[in-house]
Structure 1
Amino acid sequence: MSPQKYLRYLGLPSLFGTHRTKEIFHINPTAVPQREEAADISITVYNYNTEKVEEQKLSKVEDCFAFRHNSLISWINIDGIRKADVESICNQFGIHPLLIEDILSMHQRPKMDEVEGVLYCLLNMLYFNDSTRTVETEQISIVLGKDFVISFQEDADRDVFDPIRLRLKMGNSKIRQRTADYLLYAMLDIIVDNYFLVMEKLGEQVELVEEEVIRRSNTRSLARINQLRKELIVLKRNIAPVRDLLNGIIRSESDLLDDRTTKYFKDVYDHIIQAYDLSENYRDMMTSMQDLYINNVNLKLNEVMKVMAIVTCLLAPATVIGGIFGMNFEFIPSIHNKWGFFIAVGLMLLVPIWMLWMFRKKGWF
């Protein structure tokens, strides 16, 4: 039998995932972000109107400047964050320096700002890592301007916008028929919808842990409960502020937002409220599961103590009888009786049997 199977449980930080606690709570918004510059960036531009759509892959940020003023709606998606590139394109498109700081920041709270003719949204895309069973985040910044949308992503290998790209290629899609604010709605909507996919994955993990706690409550079960509670903290931290973000968009009187699009943002707001309520339900369920774990542990302890108490009670008569006849007195009744030993042993057996029958009759076990 391999000892590594058991030795790995001796490292309690690996069992309970204390490193994950540091990742979740080690956030200081006042500290200067130490963002690692992306080695390469990927720029994709969708230039479209009701009649046509042009998809272009660009290698330099300067190539995007031509889309600042044209007759089409432009979606510029930049994968990979580099300070010089972000400042260059933001200065060209008239984006305020405060918003540039937010784009370059890390671990920001999701929010919405309206500065000098542009509308800025910052939030996180969520992914569930099946191998580590953790919720991973990717910060995305979306800037809405006059006939353009610029999105900044950290990871070039994944996002949730493929359905939007497919809809842009369809001539009869609503995105092609509407203004740039509808594209912003579509992006926010698909990000929020992906939250439900992550919650479904977490829900499956909650069900597995619940079954494990009911079947066998052990240290491993407690570690799983602790891990899931941390992931729910990550989930709630990213979902809750999005309510304020969408509420700010709905209440905004910006000229960039068409009145016809407001009802769509209200629909996304309803979805994020539902996602928030579901995350609260998960948290309550984990609290109840922890209580169930403690109750099961206490129940097992009570069963053990009950067995030990019964055994102690059953051995008490034998202890008393043996103690009496084992005293060092010269005269003890029946001590010289040839049947004395068998009588004492018989009492030691009969009295516990009678006690066992009485306990059973009273329903004590």
Structure 2
Amino acid sequence: MPRNRLYRDGTLADEDFPVTEVSRLLKDEGAVVWLDLCGPSESDMAAIADELGLHATSVEDALESHERPKLHQYDTHLLVNAYAVCLDESSGRLTTAEVSAFVTPRALVTVRNDDRFDMDAVVARWDDSSSLAGSGVGFLLHGLLDFVVDSHFDAVQAMDDHIESLEDLVFAQRPNTVDMQRRALAMRKSLVTLRRVVLPMREVLNSLMRRDHSVVDSRMVPYYQDVYDHVLRASEWTESLRDMVATIRDTQLNLQGNRLNLIMKKVTGWAAVIAVPTAVTGFYGQNVPYPGFGTTSGFWTSTVVVLVLSVGLYGLFKRRDWL
């Protein structure tokens, strides 16, 4: 069932009335209507379009999924498309919830494909700032966009904390490389998704605040400006986080290279130390007579040579930090 509200002269007058009453209620010059449709059919949208005179292409866009955030202007209304987001901190994956809004001079119609978009939170914001309800549709649209942008800001902040934990893992004594790579890749994908829904919101808010649109009155301008500032901060923060993820990946590769070089250095040093007794014993193992062949003195001579050279090489490599 569609949800709706009626504001009359800046005061909440009615809720959940029949949709067929919308046209009658809007005949009152002081009335402002909000109508919410979750998963509407084409026939439902056609009925609303007839009631409010919505353009066919805007209705088509509202029913389509994965539209980019945008603001389209038509003769009788505006179409706003936006996405609220939520970050799963355990996996680093970002989920999006799409909402479309038809904005007419005295009606706001929100359209959602499913119930992932938390409209209850938007309604709570309207109730918390009910003193601004006299601004009509501008007040309703502000609460909707404020919720959307705040979800972007919360996601960016959570991503920042997640990336800081990744930075700590990079310099761990024994890092879990596979888990770190998986989390870094998931975070990078989430940042790409977030950037795709955040950056266009600057144009949406900037266009709404232009004087050629009558949606935002002088009373609501500071509140829209505050939302716009949040959009700018979220977009700039998103760009910086992309750089941080790339830096973490480069740092991880550099550390892996350094660890590999250190291991190879130590292995090579031990191989050089072991090569000495191998060479000496190999020489004395020849099947030809040599000084000390077949005598006890020859055995001890070879043993002393092996020990002296091995200990000498070990001390030399240790002093030069090769072992």
TM-score normalized by structure 2?
A: 0.90
Q: Is the 8 A contact 1:160 1:194 kept in 2?
A: no
The answer (yes or no) to whether the contact 1:314–1:352 under 8 Å persists in 2 is yes
The equivalent position to 1:279 in structure 2, one of 230, 238, 256, is 238
Cα–Cα, structure 1 residues 167 and 350, in superposed 2: closer, same or farther, change >3 Å? closer
Whole-angstrom distance in 2 between the partners of 1:218 and 1:168: 47
Partner of 1:223: 182
Aligned partner of 2:156 in structure 1 is 199
| Matched-pair contact (CA < 8 Å) for 2:5–2:16 | no
Aligned-partner Cα distance in 2 for 1:218–1:169: 48
Q: Give the equivalent residue in structure 2 for 1:346.
A: 304
Which one-letter code corresponds to 1:148 in the other structure? A
Q: How does 1:40-119 map to 2 (within 5 A)?
A: 42-50=1-9, 52-57=11-16, 61-70=19-28, 71-119=30-78
Among 171, 176, 180, which residue is 1:214 paired with? 171
> Cα gap change, 1:284/1:297 in structure 2, threshold over 3 Å: closer, same or farther?
same
1:62, 1:156 → 2: CA distance?
23
Q: How big is each residue's C-alpha offset from its partner over 1:245-292, in whole Å with a ceiling of 9 and x where there is no partner?
A: 112222350234424433432322211110011111211111111112
Q: Where does residue 295 of structure 2 map in the other structure?
A: 337
Partner of 1:358: 316
* Residue 261 (1) aligns with residue 220 (2): yes
How far apart are 1:174 and its partner, in Å?
A: 3.5
SS in 1 for 2:236: helix
> How big is each residue's C-alpha offset from its partner over 1:35-70, in whole Å with a ceiling of 9 and x where there is no partner?
xxxxxxx32211113463134225x65454444433
Unaligned runs of 5+ in 2: none
Is 1:152 aligned to residue 114 of structure 2? no
Given that 2:65 and 2:113 are in contact with CA atoms closer than 8 Å, whether structure 1 keeps it comes out as no
Equivalent pairs counted in the alignment come to: 320
Aligned residue type for 2:143: A
Q: Contact between 1:222 and 1:293, CA under 8 Å: does it hold in 2?
A: no
What is the alpha-carbon distance in structure 2 between the residues aligned to residue 160 and residue 131 of structure 1? 25
CA distance in structure 2 between the aligned counterparts of 1:126 and 1:279, rounded to whole angstroms: 13
1:297-308 equivalent positions in 2, closer than 5 A: 297-308=256-267
Q: Is 1:270 aligned to 2:217, yes or no?
A: no
- Asked whether the 8 Å contact 2:6–2:32 carries over to 1, the reply is yes
Deviates more, 1:233-242 or 1:352-361: 352-361
Pairwise CA RMSD: 2.3
Q: In structure 1, which of residues 166, 177, 181 is the aligned counterpart of residue 134 of structure 2?
A: 177
